[in-house]
Amino acid sequence: MIFWRLWSLIRGYVVIVVEGKQIEKFINMAVSRGYNLWDISQPRENVLTARVDVSVYPRLRHIARTCRCKMKISRKRGLPFTAVKMRKRKMLFAGAVIFFLALYVLSSFIWSVEVTSSRELRTITEQQVLDAAARYGIKRGALRYAIDNRKAAEALEKEFMEVSWVGIEIRGTKVIIDVVEKIFPEEDERSRPGNIVAQKDGVIKEILVLSGEPKAAAGDTVKKGDILISGIIYPELPEEREEKAGEDTGDEDDKEQPEEPRYVSARGIVRARVWYEAKTRVPLVQHKEELTGQKQQVVVLRIGEEEVTLKNQAKGKKYKHFRTDRDIKRLSLWKYRLPVELVTTTYHQVEKVDIYLSMVEARSQAEEAAMKDISSSLPEGAEVVSRRTVITSANEKELRAKVYVETLENIARFVPLK
């Protein structure tokens, strides 16, 4: 359909206006004789508009006289009519030719170079990449056809030892250099001495010490930041060692000198009961939009600033309520992107409806919304032990509630010693 419309633009067509009481007979006679009419509309009674090929228009005059209808041309469209105008405006035609030649020449050069990366660059800067790329011919003003993407990418990879991969892509007059840095292993904090602290408030359910000195026990209430397992292990006092050994020499000179404390990386698991709270409100009357399945499409061919409508189902009469989707496709010839776009706008008809919720439905929605909010704060491995919903207020307009959730989770967090 689209290509047929384009072909009609090349051949040329006219928009006709037919007035009379037998316009239906006019259409039937034209169609029966094989004459193609499209975009037929009836703006008012006894009047119709349609589009026909310029070669068909003279043949329709006889049909119009037979049906006692008046027929006239309201608009002329297509390449033949444009050519006639251009003959009268030679300077304008010459200017258009020069413009497109200049556009082609300018599009053969690179006008911008951009450096991208999936992660923030740490070991090198964007300017360093741009400077290096310029040495290999990738810079503003360079001829796009003279750039060898593969060789330039390999040269950049060799120049920067911190880079594991470089990709170069030419998009029109723009070059995009995608850089992937090498990921070097970072020093593991857990290899350093440190404490295990509580990362949130809670009541300890169980504690398992793998290394370090325990500073809390099951049943203790702890707050965020409290030390649960210490990474500083102090030596036992002489009296404590004697009690364990069951002997007392009584000679102070024989007692050993105090040992220095040992610093270790505390390790362990501390599972605790943690409570969460979320407030939510749910309107009892909810306004929603539902798709009816009806839609209208408008297809426009955009060439520079000029637009040619290839398809128009809306024709100025859009739905009262609708959603709009727009799809823009840039046409290309081989690797060269043309300044031509195909814009498809779709209007989806929607119907506004009111949904009335019961208290049970509103409570269910409130719990679901609160749990969604709380779940985003839960760490991996957290176990939901209990859940309680309290309705704080309810009237004919809305329901407000609080949801309390109790979990069992590991609250241990390693903090290196300063």
Cβ count near 194 (within 10 Å): 24
Cβ count near 148 (within 10 Å): 13
d(C-alpha 50, C-alpha 60), whole Å = 12
Residue 197 φ then ψ, to 5°: -120, 165
Sign of torsion over alpha carbons 155, 160, 161, 167: negative
* Across 175-201, average pLDDT: 81
Question: Could you write out the DSSP letters of every residue in 56-93?
Answer: THHHHHHHHHHTT-EEEEEEEESHHHHHHHHHH-HHHH
- CA neighbor of 212 nearest in space, from 6, 415, 7: 415
Coil, strand or helix at 207: strand
Q: What is the pLDDT of residue 106?
A: 77
d(C-alpha 166, C-alpha 150), whole Å = 9
d(C-alpha 36, C-alpha 8), whole Å = 11
d(C-alpha 165, C-alpha 306), whole Å = 42
pLDDT above 60 (res 172): yes
CATH class of 2-80: alpha beta
Q: pLDDT-derived band of residue 302, with 50, 70 and 90 as boundaries? A: confident
CATH class of 112-181: alpha beta
Question: Could you write out the DSSP letters of every residue in 254-286?
Answer: GSPPPPPPEE-B-EEEEEEEEEEEEEEEEESEE
d(C-alpha 79, C-alpha 133), whole Å = 45
More confident residue, 418 or 124: 124
Coil, strand or helix at 324: strand
- CA neighbor of 100 nearest in space, from 308, 332, 340: 340
Quick: pLDDT tens for 258-296. Answer: 578 889 999 999 999 999 999 999 999 888 888 888 898
pLDDT above 70 (res 316): no
Quick: pLDDT tens for 209-263. Answer: 999 999 999 999 999 999 999 999 888 766 656 665 555 554 554 455 557 888 9
CATH 3.10.20.310 domain locations along the chain: 112-181
Quick: pLDDT tens for 102-138. Answer: 777 777 888 889 999 888 888 888 999 999 999 988 9
What is the Cα 216 distance to its own chain's centre? 47
CATH 3.30.70.260 domain locations along the chain: 2-80
Q: What is the largest CA-CA distance in the chain?
A: 139
